[in-house]
Chains A and B, each alone.
Chain A
Amino acid sequence: MSESAEIKVGMSTTATRSEKDLIARVLAGETELFHELIRPYERLVYVTIYAILKNETEAEDAAQEVMISAFRNLKSFRGEAKFSTWLVTIAMNEARKRLRKAKVAAEDSLDEPGAEGEGDFTPAVLTDWREIPQAALERKELRAKLQEAVALLPEKYREVFVLRDIEELNQEETAAALGINVTLVKVRLHRARMMLQKILAPYLKSQAPLPVPGKPARGGFFRRWFQ
């Protein structure tokens, strides 16, 4: 194990321990500590809901409801799952409930592929991909385009994508939060990623910086060079 990995594991153990301690103290009556308990997860809860509901005001209201619900039901948290996964489960349920209410789900079913399997899928076929650097995210237009593409995914694919690739939960945590099995997580994630590639790659390719003459523009260059 590398040194950095050891440090990471050590930190996560400490974090878990103090989190358990915080939960116990909140339940014992030190309710003020709930503020501290949820602070690391404010973003997780908001972004999860926002990516599903696609509405800032609604997502903020829902995120508040989720945290209030977590506070009121903290005693039912058994510690079998991670606290973050428990919060995400509540957040996902709240988002689904609101989505059903708004009947937005109906429009999702229009382009929903019938089969759950990986099936035939054609990505956006292109060559000579030039990487978009993360610094380009300073541009509002690019951020909006990425959000828009995620919002276009049918709900069941969007849920998995948000938890796995935006919130970076692992497969088991994602499966637990959504109440599905790990195989289905993998299948849906694959489809979600391929749909996004199809939606976004042509746009991003048109936005990519031009390569500097004589300089490799991307990692794939070396594969071609040595072929």
Chain B
Amino acid sequence: MNLECKHVWEHISGYLDKQLDAELLAAIEKHLESCEVCSAILDSTRNILVLTADDRTYELPVGYSDRLHARLEEVMRATR
């Protein structure tokens, strides 16, 4: 199976999630061996996912937990 770049792009997400069947996976791997553009697109997407999933990207506001539990305590006290 010979793939064009645009067909590889359609399966980048499935590739990253390891959800491709063996035949398609082999075809994509073969394409990636010789295509710098698709390799770079794949690597950049993977890199972006690692960065966005890092806890430092979304930080909790200072004091969030304390305020949350204080508010819950008020609600609990009112229902007792």
Q: List the interface of chain A (C-beta within 8 A of B).
A: 31-32, 34-35, 38-39, 42-43, 46-47, 50-51, 56, 60, 63-64, 67-68, 71-72, 118, 120-129, 131-132, 134, 136-138, 142-143, 146-147, 150, 165-166, 168, 186, 189-190, 193-194, 196-197, 200-201, 204-205, 218-220, 223-224, 226-227
CB neighbors of A among B36-80 (8 A): 36-37, 39-45, 47-61, 64-65, 67-69, 71-73, 75-76, 79-80
> Closest CB-CB distance, B38 to chain A, in whole Å?
9
Q: How far is the CA of A2 from the CA of B57 in the complex (A)?
A: 30
> Closest CB-CB distance, B7 to chain A, in whole Å?
11
- Which A residues touch B10, using CB under 8 A? 118, 121, 190
Let me know if B58 and A42 touch, CB within 8 A: no
> Closest CB-CB distance, A7 to chain B, in whole Å?
21
- Which A residues touch B58, using CB under 8 A? 47, 50-51, 147, 166
| Number of B residues, CB within 8 Å of A | 47
Q: How far is the CA of A47 from the CA of B52 in the complex (A)?
A: 12
Let me know if A35 and B69 touch, CB within 8 A: yes
Let me know if A125 and B41 touch, CB within 8 A: yes
Q: How far is the CA of A40 from the CA of B51 in the complex (A)?
A: 22
The prevalent SS among residues of A at the interface is helix
Let me know if A219 and B12 touch, CB within 8 A: no
Ranked nearest first, the 5 interchain pairs of A and B with the lowest CB-CB distance are A190-B13, A129-B40, A220-B39, A137-B56, A201-B44
Q: How far is the CA of A205 from the CA of B40 in the complex (A)?
A: 10
8 A-B contact pairs sorted by A residue (CB < 8 Å): A60-B67, A68-B71, A132-B47, A132-B51, A138-B56, A194-B12, A218-B43, A220-B42
A194 touching B72 in the complex, CB below 8 Å, given contacts A120-B6, A224-B39: no
- Which A residues touch B34, using CB under 8 A? 227
Let me know if B51 and A134 touch, CB within 8 A: yes
Q: List the interface of chain B (C-beta within 8 A of A).
A: 6, 9-10, 12-14, 16, 19, 32-34, 36-37, 39-45, 47-61, 64-65, 67-69, 71-73, 75-76, 79-80
Let me know if B44 and A197 touch, CB within 8 A: yes
> Closest CB-CB distance, B51 to chain A, in whole Å?
6
Nearest neighbor of A138 in chain B, beta-carbon distance: B56
Residue B39 contacts which of A35, A50, A223 (CB distance < 8 angstroms)? A223
A189 touching B13 in the complex, CB below 8 Å, given contacts A64-B67, A132-B47, A143-B57: yes
Let me know if A31 and B79 touch, CB within 8 A: yes
Residue B64 contacts which of A42, A68, A132, A193 (CB distance < 8 angstroms)? A42
> Closest CB-CB distance, A125 to chain B, in whole Å?
6
- Which A residues touch B54, using CB under 8 A? 134, 137
